């Protein structure tokens, strides 16, 4: 059981800040995902925790001990690198034993711990193979065993699923999460894939330009993004800008949306999740209801994505469930009723087109 406590961490390269005043905690057994676009500082933050990047300022504590200036092998962290960084000329056993050797553990004690670590990742029979004799998924498990063999206080993962094909990603991700939970490991996990983060993390930390912009559970962030940037990053596809009227509506190009606008400044963007935009007769009775033209339909099997063109020229996409016996006919060019509940309309600050 361990916890990680980061305070005001700063990593500057010249006058550029890769990590800019980050404070972050991760509790015992917690899996925290660092999520954000390329270049936002995720890897730099992770490597700072491991000790591979000397920080400019701030503090990193593991189990209440200040490790900010300690060498990597004195911190008791276990790290899985994006490309696994296995030694090609060493067997699986020797790769896994490397971290122990660095800590001066050898002989029978090392052999026992290597065998246990390989069992944990179901590679007990593969100790004598070389990395090139393993599949991508098996190599990833060797990298996980190598990180776990030292009984780390903090488990650090840098995009550990990105080299796996789409089919493997989900099952390996779930295995990794099960292992993390069963061992009670405090874990920080870097990804730029929001689906991966939603699937695995207890808490998501969204970064932008070296700073944390929002953190919370997957549900909290998806349901209540604090800004357009976060909404957009977590897969909201409908964003329309408008003006808040004194009566409490958001007025877009030609449509008024009833929503919770109390105390909102006038200029806002509206986000509306496609699954909350209802099509057909059921939409007519909703507090927000309007007629729109179907501009395109993308059939995706269980559902279709239907893009609507609103009277003022704005576009909204709806997710429509395809059910056997559904009497609603969708045809490109037709007018259709559409609507949503006021609480499905979220008004956010537009931090995508303004400076941040
Ligand atoms: N050694 C370095 N010297 C100068 N700039 C660096 C150095 N290492 C990283 N950076 C810069 O710091 C910023 C953050 O990089 P980092 O690798 O942490 O981003 P990231 O969020 O992990 O991105 P990605 O998802 O693409 O891996 C980038 O703009 C990068 O160019």
Q: How many residues does the chain have?
A: 356
Nearest atom of ligand 1 to the alpha carbon of 207: 21
Both tokens of 144, joined, read 């996980």
pLDDT at 201: 94
> Residue 356 pLDDT more than 80?
no
Quote the ligand 1 centre to 180 CA distance (angstroms). 27
pLDDT at 50: 95
The pLDDT tens digits for 137-154 are: 899 899 999 999 988 999
> Residue 75 pLDDT more than 50?
yes
Mean pLDDT, rounded, for 223-230: 88
> Which fold does the domain 236-348 belong to in CATH?
OB fold (Dihydrolipoamide Acetyltransferase, E2P) (2.40.50)
> Residue 13 pLDDT more than 90?
yes
Return all residues near 98 (Cβ < 8 A) that are at least 6 apart: 87, 90, 146
Nearest alpha carbon to residue 229 among 242, 218, 214 = 214
The pLDDT tens digits for 58-72 are: 999 999 999 999 998
Mean pLDDT, rounded, for 40-57: 96
CATH number, span 4-229:
3.40.50.300
pLDDT at 207: 96
Strand partners, 317: 307
Pocket mutation for ligand 1, best pick of 11, 44, 82 (most atoms within 8 Å of C-beta) = 44
> Residue 355 pLDDT more than 70?
no
Split at pLDDT 50, 70, 90, the class of 354 is low
Mean pLDDT, rounded, for 30-57: 95
Domain boundaries, the chain: 4-229, 236-348
What is the pTM for the complete model shown? 0.85
pLDDT at 161: 86
If you take atom 8 of ligand 1, which residue's CA is the nearest one? 44
pLDDT at 69: 95
The verdict on ipTM greater than 0.95 is: yes
pLDDT at 70: 95
Coil, strand, or helix at residue 8?
Answer: strand
Rg (CA), the chain: 25
Residue 66 half-sphere exposure toward CB, CA atoms < 13 A: 7
């Amino acid at each position: 059981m361990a916890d990680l406590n980061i305070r005001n961490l700063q990593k500057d390269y010249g006058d550029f800040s890769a990590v800019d005043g980050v404070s972050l905690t991760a509790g015992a057994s917690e899996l925290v995902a660092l999520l954000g676009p390329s270049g936002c500082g995720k890897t730099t933050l992770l490597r700072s925790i491991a000790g591979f990047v000397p920080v400019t300022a701030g503090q990193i504590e593991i189990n209440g001990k200040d490790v900010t200036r300690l060498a990597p092998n004195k911190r008791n962290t276990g790290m899985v690198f994006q490309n696994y960084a296995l030694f090609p000329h060493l067997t699986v056993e020797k790769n896994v034993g490397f971290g122990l050797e660095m800590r001066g553990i050898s002989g029978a004690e090392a052999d026992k711990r290597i065998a246990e670590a390989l069992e944990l990742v179901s590679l007990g029979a593969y100790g004598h193979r070389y990395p090139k004799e393993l599949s991508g998924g098996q190599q990833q498990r060797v990298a996980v065993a190598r990180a776990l063999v030292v009984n780390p206080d903090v488990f650090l993962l840098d995009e550990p699923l990105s080299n796996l094909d789409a089919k493997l990603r989900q099952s390996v991700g779930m295995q990794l999460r099960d292992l993390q939970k069963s061992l009670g490991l405090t874990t920080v996990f870097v990804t730029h894939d929001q689906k991966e983060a939603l699937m695995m993390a207890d808490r998501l930390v969204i970064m932008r330009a070296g700073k944390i912009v929002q953190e919370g559970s997957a549900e909290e962030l998806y349901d209540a993004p604090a800004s357009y940037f976060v909404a957009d990053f977590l897969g909201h596809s409908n964003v329309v800008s408008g003006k808040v009227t004194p009566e409490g509506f958001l007025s877009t190009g030609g449509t008024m949306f009833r929503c919770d606008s109390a105390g909102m400044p006038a200029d806002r963007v509206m986000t509306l999740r496609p699954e909350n935009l209802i099509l057909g007769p059921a939409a007519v009775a909703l507090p927000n209801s309007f007629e729109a033209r179907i501009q395109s339909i993308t059939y995706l099997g269980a559902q279709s994505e239907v893009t609507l063109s609103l009277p003022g020229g704005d576009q909204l996409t709806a997710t429509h469930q395809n059910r056997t016996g559904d009497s609603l006919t969708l045809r490109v060019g037709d007018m259709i009723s559409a609507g949503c509940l006021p609480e499905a309309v979220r008004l956010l600050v537009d931090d995508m087109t303004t400076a941040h």
